[in-house]
Amino acid sequence: PASTARLPQGHLSVGGVSLAELADRFGTPAYVLDEDEIRARCRTYRAAFPQADVVYAAKAFLSRAMVRWIEEEGLGLDVCSAGELELAHAAGFPPERMVLHGNAKSPRDIELALRVGVGRIVVDSPSEIARIAALTGPAGRQKVMVRVVPGVSAGGHEKIRTGTDGQKFGLSLTDGSAQHAVARVLGQPQLELTGLHCHIGSQITDVKPYLVAVRRMVGLMARIKESHGVTLPELDLGGGHAVAYRPGEPALDPTALARRLYAELAASCAAAGLPVPRLLIEPGRAIAAPAGVALYRVLAVKHTGPTLFVAVDGGMSDNPRPALYGARYAPRPIGRSTTAEPVPATVVGRHCEAGDVIASDVPLPGDVRPGDLVAVPVAGAYQASMASAYNLVGRPPVVAVHRGTARLLIRRETQDDLSRRDVGA
Catalytic residues: 352
Nearest distance in Å: CB 315, ligand LLP? 16
- Tell me how crowded residue 227 is: count the other CB atoms within 10 A of its CB: 12
Nearest distance in Å: CB 321, ligand LLP? 5
CA distances from 98 to 39, 54, 102, 113, 410 (A): 19, 11, 13, 9, 23
Site string for ligand LLP, 303-322 (x = CB under 6 A): ------------------x-
User: Which residues pair with residue 13 across a beta bridge?
Assistant: 18
Nearest distance in Å: CB 208, ligand LLP? 17
Our CB check for ligand LLP shows the closer of 119 and 283 to be: 283
Determine if 60 is a binding residue for ligand LLP (CB under 6 A): yes
3 state SS of 224? helix
Our CB check for ligand LLP shows the closer of 365 and 380 to be: 380
Environment class of 415 (CB within 10 Å of its CB; exposed 0-12, middle 13-18, buried 19+): exposed
Nearest distance in Å: CB 373, ligand LLP? 24
Nearest to 124 by CA among 167, 77, 61, 75: 167
The one among 163, 254, 277, 284 contacting ligand LLP by CB under 6 A: 284
Cα–Cα distance measured from residue 166 to residue 153, given in angstroms and rounded to the nearest whole number: 11
- The answer to whether the annotation marks 25 as part of a ligand binding site is no
Residues between 392 and 421 that touch ligand LLP (CB under 6 A): none
Determine if 238 is a binding residue for ligand LLP (CB under 6 A): yes
Site string for ligand LLP, 8-47 (x = CB under 6 A): ----------------------------------------
Is the separation of the CB atoms in 68 and 278 below 8 Å? no
Our CB check for ligand LLP shows the closer of 161 and 332 to be: 161
Nearest distance in Å: CB 304, ligand LLP? 28
Our CB check for ligand LLP shows the closer of 13 and 177 to be: 177
Listed in sequence order, the residues at least 6 apart from 50 whose beta carbon sits closer than 8 Å to its beta carbon are: none
Percent helix, strand, coil in the chain (nearest 5)?
A: 35, 25, 40
Is the separation of the CB atoms in 342 and 366 below 8 Å? yes
- Tell me how crowded residue 12 is: count the other CB atoms within 10 A of its CB: 24
Nearest distance in Å: CB 324, ligand LLP? 7
Is the separation of the CB atoms in 284 and 381 below 8 Å? yes
Nearest to 298 by CA among 260, 341, 346: 346
Is the separation of the CB atoms in 162 and 201 below 8 Å? yes
Determine if 241 is a binding residue for ligand LLP (CB under 6 A): yes
Total of chain residues touching ligand LLP, rule CB under 6 A: 21
Site string for ligand LLP, 143-182 (x = CB under 6 A): -----------------x----------------------
User: Which residues pair with residue 127 across a beta bridge?
Assistant: none
The one among 88, 332, 382, 395 contacting ligand LLP by CB under 6 A: 382
Cα–Cα distance measured from residue 327 to residue 56, given in angstroms and rounded to the nearest whole number: 22
Determine if 282 is a binding residue for ligand LLP (CB under 6 A): yes
Environment class of 199 (CB within 10 Å of its CB; exposed 0-12, middle 13-18, buried 19+): buried
Determine if 203 is a binding residue for ligand LLP (CB under 6 A): yes
Residues between 87 and 116 that touch ligand LLP (CB under 6 A): 101
- The answer to whether the annotation marks 240 as part of a ligand binding site is yes
Determine if 132 is a binding residue for ligand LLP (CB under 6 A): no
Is the separation of the CB atoms in 204 and 252 below 8 Å? yes
Cα–Cα distance measured from residue 300 to residue 372, given in angstroms and rounded to the nearest whole number: 10
Binding site for substrate: which residues? Answer: 285, 321, 325, 353, 382
Binding site for pyridoxal 5'-phosphate: which residues? Answer: 240, 282-285, 382
Using CB under 6 A, list all residues that contact ligand LLP: 57, 59-60, 78, 101, 160, 199, 202-203, 238-241, 282-286, 321, 325, 382
Binding site: which residues? Answer: 240, 282-285, 321, 325, 353, 382
